[in-house]
């Protein structure tokens, strides 16, 4: 059983859920349970997350956010089950709307603690390998990069079609010159709004692209959905894309996945935590091998490795470097 304690200045919200043994998970409260918990506690800067297995505590995650940096510590049982639960716990805490104001995630791990190191690597935090005077290594990652990784394998529901996300790109808003949010404009205004909203724009006046706003609000960070595997409504997706399109190509590329899902400007601002309509499935995927590399077609910050995809998946698009990007350094 999972217990999520969302701690605010005056309120304490507790949400319980259950782990299934298989890939699927059932969250008590249904889709949007995290947002429901948040409604009981505003301006949250601390989360404690406790997971039980068979009545025994397995994982404790404790997070504090200071000046936009979410520093956290966790303890876990050093077996495979414990490591898996710890990775799930960290993902859920990272994605919780109460901590959407975190720009960076950071954890210190005692040198030689291979259990903790493997959990952080699995989640997406990296280290430069340096050990401080107290014998700890620092693992960290930009929040938007973690959100991008964690979207892989989740299901995005459109209009009569649903797709498992297989490829994404992270854009860091005001600190990322390749991002629409780098400059605040009427088009990018939604990126400065609440997290887990859909940002839809027309690319080159030809096709729509779908993005998940991840926050923080002042950061304007978002994740572009680049590709996905159509798992529901394939015939409708094929009518939208063309009857001769192979299954694996129905959602390959950002314009194609948006078209297959039937997404357009009318969907701008959709709450992706909603129970119906355009939304993200609340179920979290099982662990996948995730590859990363430079983003496609950008002419600035060209070598930032914020394109993430499920390694070996046939629906993933081909990397193309912008001719305006210059020579690879």
What does the pLDDT look like over 82-127, one tens digit per residue? 888 788 778 877 877 667 888 999 999 888 888 889 889 888 999 9
Note the pLDDT of residue 89: 78
Class of domain 154-310: alpha beta
Give CA 230 to chain center in angstroms.
Answer: 19
Residue 286 has φ and ψ, to the nearest 5°, of -75, 170
* Residue (of 178, 198, 182) closest to 257 by Cα position: 198
In what helix (H) or strand (E) does residue 74 lie, and over which residues does it extend? strand 69-76
Residue ranges of the chain assigned to CATH 3.40.630.30: 2-146
CB 168, CB 307: distance < 8 Å: yes
Note the pLDDT of residue 268: 97
Spatial separation of the C-alpha atoms in residues 157 and 221, rounded to whole Å: 21
Low-confidence ranges of the chain (pLDDT < 50): 1-43, 328-329
pTM equals 0.83
Spatial separation of the C-alpha atoms in residues 54 and 1, rounded to whole Å: 8
Note the pLDDT of residue 57: 67
* Residue (of 150, 36, 140, 145) closest to 92 by Cα position: 150
Q: What is residue 81's three-state secondary structure?
A: helix
Domain covering 2-146 assigned CATH 3.40.50.720 in the classification: no
Spatial separation of the C-alpha atoms in residues 123 and 133, rounded to whole Å: 26
Note the pLDDT of residue 206: 87
Spatial separation of the C-alpha atoms in residues 199 and 99, rounded to whole Å: 20
Residue ranges of the chain assigned to CATH 3.10.300.10: 154-310
Note the pLDDT of residue 171: 97
* Residue (of 97, 72, 71, 76) closest to 87 by Cα position: 76
pLDDT digits (tens, 9 = 90+) for 243-279: 889 999 999 999 999 999 999 999 999 999 898 999 9
Please name the residues in contact with 165: beta carbons below 8 A apart, sequence gap of 6 or more: 151, 152, 153, 154, 155, 156, 225, 227, 228
Note the pLDDT of residue 6: 42
Note the pLDDT of residue 42: 44
Q: What angle do CA 174, 151, 269 make, to 5 degrees?
A: 60
């Amino acid at each position: 059983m999972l217990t999520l304690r969302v701690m605010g200045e005056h309120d304490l919200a507790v949400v319980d859920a259950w782990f299934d043994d298989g890939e699927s998970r059932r969250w008590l409260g249904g889709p949007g349970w995290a947002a429901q918990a948040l409604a009981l506690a505003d301006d949250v800067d601390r989360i404690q997350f406790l997971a039980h297995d068979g009545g025994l505590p397995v994982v404790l995650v404790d997070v504090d956010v200071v000046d936009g940096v979410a520093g956290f510590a966790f303890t876990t049982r050093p077996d495979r089950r414990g490591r898996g639960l710890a990775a799930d716990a960290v993902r859920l805490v990272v994605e919780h709307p109460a901590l959407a104001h975190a720009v960076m995630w950071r954890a210190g791990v005692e040198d030689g603690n291979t259990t903790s190191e493997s959990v952080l690597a699995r989640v997406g935090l990296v280290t430069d390998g340096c050990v401080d005077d107290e014998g700890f290594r620092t693992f960290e990652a930009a929040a938007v990069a973690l959100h991008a990784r964690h979207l892989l394998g989740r299901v995005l529901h459109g209009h009569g079609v649903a797709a498992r996300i297989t490829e994404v790109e992270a854009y860091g808003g005001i600190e990322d010159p390749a991002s629409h949010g780098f400059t605040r404009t009427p088009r990018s205004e939604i990126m400065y709004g609440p997290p887990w909203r859909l940002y839809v724009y027309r690319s080159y006046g030809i096709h729509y692209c779908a993005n998940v706003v991840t926050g923080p609000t002042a950061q304007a960070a978002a994740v572009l959905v680049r590709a996905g595997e159509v798992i529901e409504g394939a015939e409708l997706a094929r009518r939208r894309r063309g009857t001769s399109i192979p299954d694996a190509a129905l959602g390959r590329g950002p314009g194609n996945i948006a078209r297959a899902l039937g997404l357009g400007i009318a969907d701008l601002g959709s709450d992706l935590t909603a129970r119906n309509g355009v939304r993200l499935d609340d179920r979290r995927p099982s662990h996948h091998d995730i590859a990363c590399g430079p983003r496609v077609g950008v002419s600035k910050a060209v070598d930032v490795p914020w394109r993430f995809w499920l390694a070996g998946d046939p629906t993933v698009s081909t990397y193309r470097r912008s001719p305006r990007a210059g020579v690879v350094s």
